[in-house]
Structure 1
Amino acid sequence: MSKRVQPSWSPPKSENQPVLKVYNSLTRQKEVFTPVSAKRINWYSCGPTVYDASHMGHARSYITFDILRRILSNYFGYDVFYAMNITDIDDKIIKRARQNYLFDKYASENLSLETVISDAKQVLDNVSTKVKNTTDPDKKQMLENTLSRLITSVEQLELAVKSGDSLKLNDSKKQFIQDCKDPLSDWLDQRLGSTVTDNAIFTSLPRYWEDAFYNDMDALNVLRPNVVTRVSEYIPEIIDYIKQIISNGFAYEANGSVYFDVGSFDKSDKHHYARLVPEAYGDTNSLQEGEGDLTTAEQRSEKRSPNDFALWKKSKPGEPFWESDWGFGRPGWHIECSAMASDIFGETLDIHTGGVDLKFPHHDNEIAQSEAYFGSPEWVKYFLHSGHLTIAGCKMSKSLKNFVTIQDALSKYTSRQLRFAFLLHSWRDTLDYSQNTMEIALSYEKLFNEFFLNVKDATRSCSAVTTVKTFSKWSEKERLLNDKLIKTKTDVHAALCDNFDTRSALDALRELVTTGNIYLRERKPPNSLLLTDVGIYVTSILKIFGTITEADCVGFPTSTGKSDNIESVILPYLSILAEFRDKVRTSARTLKATEILKQCDDLRDEILPNVGVRLEDREGEATALKLVDKDTLLKEKEARKKMEQEKAAEKERKKAELAAAAAAKEELKKMPPSELFRKETDKYSKFDDNGFPTHDVEGKEVSKGQLKKLQKLYQAQEKKYQEYLASQASS
């Protein structure tokens, strides 16, 4: 992940400036943000459960809170200490690790064809049973798709048996095993999962996906946490934490497991359960989902109340385990965050963040555990929850085939473009990841980028050495642009103080850029110092938002992979080339040397874009010279060629239409007037001896008004026909 970016601009300091207000999930309202220590923020964020690839739902939280973290650090100047956990012990991880281990073992064994076919039919029966028993529509659809693929695979396997081809049989067997990995792994786990005893297999899987997660965060330009806590490394601390909760009278041991006593906690004068979502109190279905694989009737009966939840789970056969005062077991899901956050930050957190789906039971259980441990009624001051993410208006689901991993998204868009999409939505609201959303994000990126390029081009001649020529008298145009800059700073500050309203902040920057573009068009030459001030301010805010990472003074950096001062090194040489081309082009125009003009155009359109250079010819002015990302220029080049091809095709189409119309017109001249209307049987049913219509298609006589119109057409055709006959006679 990228290093912390230092601020290049600070917010105004005035008694009249608005104060930062943040929406607090604990109170369900905006509150003035006041950390425990004046400028120090202790922030704990729920991290990933590492058992699979990170998807855009994860990105919703991690990009969102990265933006808020940057604003607090680099705009408001807080000293943020940011901790994040990695859940590397979890029911999903345990099950996936077991399944992978059992599948790999099965695939490596030289099983007979009869055994594989017998197993295939059992797997088929297993999935069929699940389809019948599943009520969740998404899961049911996914299982039905799996069942369909499985039936096809079994049929292909049986066809291979009938063929008797030993090579084909062996290939079909291997193919079946690979094609049916998921349902086969699940079936193997149900049969053999309890026989797995090697704790090491439960370590390699989460480490692999933890690494992949960090790669995704680096690619998204998400700042590194100051500290990462892994559940597997905090077992002693978690055990001690649970012991203290028991000692305080808010938990109890039952048959090797430990449960939080919600009833005792709720009876205390200082505490009440489900502070975030009080309406969910007693929602045993949600609580049960939080318990994971603690689902047997015997285990549920160990609880004093259905509302109680596990702090420590007695390990079943086939699960990892650690020794404790209550026997071999493993931590519950909720306790890990309480214990690890408390170990890092102590008794109080300023900010705790996570996705909105974690409110209940996870975060409510965290609050209860931590308050029970410390005996304090306030563990977290501000709970911030990021909104949901949908895909084109729908919930993301593999069964709907709209499951988008972070790598999938990055294959279509850059991390900057994705970040703009997040910035254009409130961090609390649902964000719909769709083509429309991304098109808007791309339009903002393009607007800012073109402005930066224009500012760089307009101020390039400004010497680094201060001289008399550095300063010029301001006109009304400069005063108007400067007034807009001042107003934008005020508007951006007000927006960020209002619950990190990045959408309004971007809109204020967009208005400033629009004003700047108008100024550039109307003012020749522009005031370089004022333009630079505007460019630096816009750049500084976009840096704070994380859309710019490099140290360029103004604008988006060029993707050259070279040093940060690449522009200052290369531009003098490119300027000489551009000036030389201008002179050659001017001379070629005078001499009407079309081949030389073509070479000048090829340099601009075909050669320089390949090295990230854009030339823009301007009538009566020096050519604009801009360094642009090479891929962007190549896309522009392809789009330009496509447009030219479409124009050429349209021109040819119109030419062909005109030719066809002319040919039809010539052909019409050859038609005797008596034949003019006879072909229009869809309009007329009877004609006189001269071929003139007398009745319409429904058998009604043609009206007098219509007869007059038809008579004119008949006479016109008669004239054309006579001219044609005359031309034929003369030839």
Structure 2
Amino acid sequence: MAAAAAEPGKGKRMQPPWTPPEGTKHSRLCLYNSLTRNKEIFQPQNGKKVTWYCCGPTVYDASHMGHARSYISFDILRRILRDYFKFDVFYCMNITDIDDKIIKRARQNYLFEQYRENKITSAQLLEDVKTASELFSVKLNETTDPDKKQMLEKIQNAVKSAFDPLQAAVQAKLPAEEINRCHEIMLEEAKDLLSDWLDTKFGSQVTDNSIFSKLPKYWEGEFHKDMEALNVLPPDVLTRVSEYVPEIVAFVKKIVDNGYGYVSNGSVYFDTMKFDSSEKHSYAKLVPEAVGDQKALQEGEGDLSISADRLSEKHSPNDFALWKSSKPGEPSWDSPWGKGRPGWHIECSAMAGSILGESMDIHGGGFDLRFPHHDNELAQSEAYFENDHWVRYFLHTGHLTIAGCKMSKSLKNFITIKDALKKHTARQLRLAFLMHSWKDTLDYSNNTMESAIQYEKFMNEFFLNVKDILRAPTDVTGQFQKWENQEAELNKNFYDKKAAIHEALCDNIDTRSVLEEMRSLVSQSNSYIAAKKSSRQMPNRLLLENISSYLTQMLKIFGAIESDDVIGFPVGGNSQNINIESTVMPYLQVLSEFREGVRQIAREKKVTEVLQLSDALRDDILPELGVRFEDHEGLPTVVKLVDKDTLLKEREEKKKVIILNIQFF
């Protein structure tokens, strides 16, 4: 009789239930929040949507590297939030086109041009410069800030240097041509001095509003051109103060109605004491220690708004203007309190409130805007909305210094973006910013830029080497190579670096550490390539392609690469409509192989003239076309497309080394 079948599982040891692996904890993005002065976990108010307001420029002069510091840094943060962390970022920025600085500069420019067009005699010019110098000397003597005093002394010395030759030419009755030359130099050097004097005399007579709109319109256009040249993404919404005056008036009216503003002599001021005494509110959340800093407060009010009359209108010296009654020589708009113009701080509150509502996720600006500008923005907005959370995260970019010195447009110590781009590319500037923390001081110097240039060169050489490896002919199955210990180790390093890069980005978007991790990954990859080549083995194509594609993608996320190339920096500039590399490389490969064959025959036949010609092709002719041939003993020639200027510079450096060696021996 057959034995009964055993029941399934009976008599066997029970297997433990399957459990998922523990895995690793994922870091969450933290950002340094100026409101708490700590790194805080970033949590938008509405899912993945991020609302962001950025303080834009006051457009009365050329954009400079201080502007680049903020707008490139915020562009990097914005791209990383959008393209790496996959947030849906809605980015709003303003243009300040009504401001004390703009009004004064517009008046001065207009009056100086009128003065120039009157074609006054040189004798009259000398008299006017003498009179203006007296006023200027008073201003100089009253100045206590050492940097500003030094700047004014430079102007005074330049005027004197131009004054004496013109006076001598007039007294000696030199030919008209020589007098006219000295006259024009005098006008140019004394422009600031004369403009101030003319504004004091005739500024109140400038009444045409178009004079005050022409200047900011021009400089706004130049600002947008500069941002495009720097590859800074345009905002989703751009607001101009001049287009939001009705909204600003309504905003001010509600603050008054809510009991936090008061009317005085046609102006409207914010009552800081009443606001701060409210249980619901607190004044100066960002920099409470700066409350009472009259110098900072007066700078915030503007040069045209700190007269004794203006100051006497306030209940407290800490109060600030929401609406300013317009004096003669200033543009004006209608309001319930009479003809006037917006205060500086109110514009951002009204425009941001109109677009983003009663609370935004991120507000950005330069470090120097924290007090009084951003503290006053917070106060008046929370007074308007009757809340205490108008901004959730305040991000402030660090200062920019020039070779260790303070940079200031008012001190005439600045480098324009256009001038910076004459010396370095937009990518090199961006890499320099990426190599520093966005919230710390950045020193724009030769050393800083040289580090960025060398980093770009280091990465570019790696990309070019990988491209050369990938161009080696193979069939479909040949791209899948057997992995040895070297490949496994490099792949492990690759994933370790990706994890480290993610950690760095989560830690307040630490791009400095990210770039170091990327550099380390490239160094490891270069060592792997060198080891493979030294043993006459082909490096693993797929692994190197994955690494270089990842690095390229990260540089694209940072805005350092604009093209659609899968690997590396674009060849021939970003404006090319065709892919130069894919177009010309087949022809260069044919030329390289032909040259190798000719060189081999020339060596065998000992025809030195042919070898010299092939060297001349490599060293003299191809660099002029942006092509580098690299000869390696026993290996095929490496072909690289490189920026022509870079190759010519390399050629000159090699010549210098050869000359030095000849002189040494």
**Pairwise TM-score range, normalised by the shorter structure:** over 0.9
How many angstroms apart in 2 are the aligned matches of 1:300 and 1:73? Answer: 46
Residues 637-716 of structure 1 mapped to structure 2, 5 A cutoff:
637-651=651-665
- For residues 216 and 111 of structure 1, the distance between their equivalents in structure 2, rounded to whole angstroms, comes to 37
Alignment-derived partner of residue 630 in structure 2: 616
Secondary structure of residue in 2 paired with 1:447:
helix
CA distance in 2 between counterparts of 1:307 and 1:400 reads 26
Of the three residues 327, 333, 337, the one matched with 1:322 is 333
Contact 1:552 1:564 in 2 (8 A): no
Matched, 1:176 2:186: yes
Q: Is the 8 A contact 2:148 2:411 kept in 1?
A: no
Q: Does 1:224 align with 2:234?
A: yes
Give, as a single letter, the amino acid of the residue that structure 2 aligns with 1:163: A
Mapping of residues 325-340 of structure 1, within 5 Å = 325-340=336-351
Aligned counterparts, 1:136-285, within 5 A: 136-165=145-174, 167=176, 168-285=178-295
Secondary structure, counterpart of 1:165 in structure 2: coil
**Distance across 2 between alignment mates of 1:232 and 1:24:** 31
Note if 1:571 corresponds to 2:585: yes
What's the CA shift string for 1:478-511, capped at 9, x where partnerless?
A: 1011101110110000000000011111111111
Please name the residue that 1:706 is paired with. Answer: none
Is 1:581 paired with 2:592? no
Partner of 2:111, secondary structure, is: helix
Q: CA deviation at 1:648?
A: 2.3
User: Contact 1:397 / 1:403 at 8 angstroms: preserved in 2?
Assistant: yes
Q: Please tell me the residue identity of whatever aligns with 1:62.
A: Y
- After superposition, what is the alpha-carbon deviation per residue over 1:227-279, rounded to whole angstroms, capped at 9, x for unaligned? 11110111011001111111111101111100011111112111000000111
Match of 1:74 among 80, 83, 93: 83
Match of 2:13 in 1: none
- Asked if residue 533 in structure 1 is aligned to residue 560 in structure 2, the reply is no
Instruction: State the 1:650 CA deviation.
Output: 2.5
Other structure's SS at 2:323 match: strand
- Number of the residue aligned with 1:500: 509
**C-alpha contact (below 8 Å) 2:53/2:352 kept by paired residues:** yes
Equivalent residues, number: 637
Correspondence 1:58-97 to 2 at 5 A: 58-97=67-106
Letter in 1 for 2:379: A
Instruction: Find the counterpart in structure 1 of residue 19 from structure 2.
Output: none
Question: 1:397 & 1:313 partners in 2: Cα distance?
Answer: 26
SS in 1 for 2:305: coil
**C-alpha displacement at 1:542, in angstroms?**
1.0
CA, structure 1 residues 546+27, in 2 after alignment: closer, same or farther (shift >3 Å)? same
Question: Aligned partners of 1:423, 1:170: CA distance in 2, in Å?
Answer: 50
Alpha-carbon shift at residue 186 of structure 1 (Å): 1.1
Q: 1:375 & 1:317 partners in 2: Cα distance?
A: 36
C-alpha distance in 1, partners of 2:342/2:370?
20
Match of 1:549 among 550, 556, 562: 562
Judge conservation of contact 2:50–2:88 (CA < 8 Å) in 1: yes
Please, which moves more after superposition, 171-180 or 262-271?
A: 171-180
Q: Distance in 2 between matches of 1:142 and 1:398?
A: 11
- Once the two structures are overlaid, the 10-residue window that deviates more, 612-621 or 166-175, is 166-175
Please give the alpha-carbon distance, in whole angstroms, between the structure 1 residues aligned to 2:595 and 2:424: 35
Cα distance in 2 for residues equivalent to 1:600 and 1:625: 14
1:473 aligns with 2:486: no
Return the alpha-carbon distance in structure 1 between the equivalents of residues 189 and 235 of structure 2.
Answer: 39
Q: TM-score, normalised by structure 1?
A: 0.85
2:318 maps to amino acid: N
SS at match of 1:556: coil
Q: Distance in 1 between matches of 2:286 and 2:473?
A: 57
Corresponding position: 1:372 with 2:410: no
Q: Which residue of 1 aligns with 2:33?
A: 24
Cα offsets for 1:599-629 (capped at 9, x unmatched): 1011111111111111100110100011111
For the pair shown, the structure with the greater C-alpha radius of gyration is 1
Does residue 352 in structure 1 map to residue 352 in structure 2?
no
Comparing 428-437 with 356-365, which one deviates more in the overlay? Answer: 428-437
Q: Give the conservation status (yes or no) of the 8 Å contact 2:572–2:580.
A: no
Q: Describe the shift of the 1:609–1:294 C-alpha distance in structure 2 as closer, same or farther (beyond 3 A).
A: same
2:118 match? 109
Instruction: Say which is worse superposed, 107-116 or 359-368, in terms of deviation.
Output: 107-116
- Structure 2 gaps, min length 5: 1-22
* C-alpha deviation, 1:212, in angstroms: 1.1
SS in 2 for 1:80: strand
Which range is displaced more, 339-348 or 410-419? 410-419
For residue 63 of structure 2, give the secondary structure of its aligned residue in structure 1.
Answer: coil
One-letter amino acid matched to 1:635: K
Distance, in Å, in 2 between the alignment partners of 1:186 and 1:27 is 43
Quick one: distance in 2 between partners of 1:462 and 1:305? 79
Secondary structure class of the residue paired with 1:390: strand
Q: CA deviation at 1:384?
A: 0.4
Counterpart of 1:623 in 2: which secondary structure?
Answer: strand
Alignment partner, residue 603 of structure 1:
617
Q: Deviation at 1:398?
A: 7.1
Deviation, 1:439, is: 1.8
User: Structure 1 residues 204, 232: CA separation in 2 closer, same or farther (over 3 Å shift)?
Assistant: same
What residue ranges of structure 1 are gaps of 5+ in the alignment?
1-13, 652-731
* Partner Cα separation in structure 2 for residue 166 and residue 82 of structure 1: 61
**2-structure distance, mates of 1:312, 1:564:** 54
Give the stretch that moved more between structures: 302-311 or 152-161. 152-161
Conservation of the 8 A alpha-carbon contact between 1:312 and 1:331: yes
1:121 pairs with one of 105, 130, 143: 130
How far does the alpha carbon of each residue in 1:631-659 deviate from its partner, in whole angstroms, 9 at most, with x for none? 211111222222222222333xxxxxxxx
Q: CA 1:169 to 1:632, structure 2 compared with 1: closer, same or farther past 3 Å?
A: closer
1:659-702 alpha-carbon deviations (Å, 9 max, x no partner):
xxxxxxxxxxxxxxxxxxxxxxxxxxxxxxxxxxxxxxxxxxxx
Matched position secondary structure for 2:110: helix
Structure 2 CA distance for partners of 1:399 and 1:228, relative to 1, 3 Å: closer
Partners of 2:247 and 2:175 in 1: CA distance: 58
| Structure 1 counterpart of 2:48, from 39, 48, 54 | 39
Cα distance, 1:399 vs structure 2: 9.5
Whether 2:529 is the aligned partner of 1:520: answer yes
